[in-house]
Amino acid sequence: MDSDKQIAVRITLSAVPEFLTLVQSLADRLAQNRNFAESQRLQLKQGIQQASRHLMQGEGEPAEMSLDLAGYADRVEIVVETEKDLGTSEADLYLLNELLDRVALEESGGGQYRLTLVQYHAAPGRKS
């Protein structure tokens, strides 16, 4: 439910390494605005870097990707949609799940792929 969404940004850009810093900065700023701990913000940036690894590799023209960043009261969500197969292996997903609280990879039909990354705000008694 989107009723608690407080901040949202949607951008479309070419999947080139130069934009990785921009995406990481936007996500970090959003998490900072949500009062995330520094350690959580670092995990979020590392998760974005790991998730982007396959998208920004390859021959030919860079893939276009649509990126949604959303800040909620309790979490930050990043959704990447692209036509390029993300080629994410079990090892990649394991690493992403170690860095982030929730990771979902799905083929959404019509040759579209969606990767959702979620980092929850640390609650008392929860590891960060």
Residue 120's pLDDT band, with cuts at 50, 70 and 90, is very high
Q: Is 50 exceeded by the pLDDT of residue 95?
A: yes
Which residue ranges form the domains of the chain, and what is each CATH number?
A: 5-120 (3.30.565.10)
Average pLDDT of the chain is 81
- With the C-alpha atoms ordered 27, 10, 110, 119, is the resulting torsion angle positive or negative? positive
Residue 123 pLDDT? 54
Residue 38's pLDDT band, with cuts at 50, 70 and 90, is very high
* 6-33 tens-digit pLDDT: 878 898 888 777 787 888 888 999 899 8
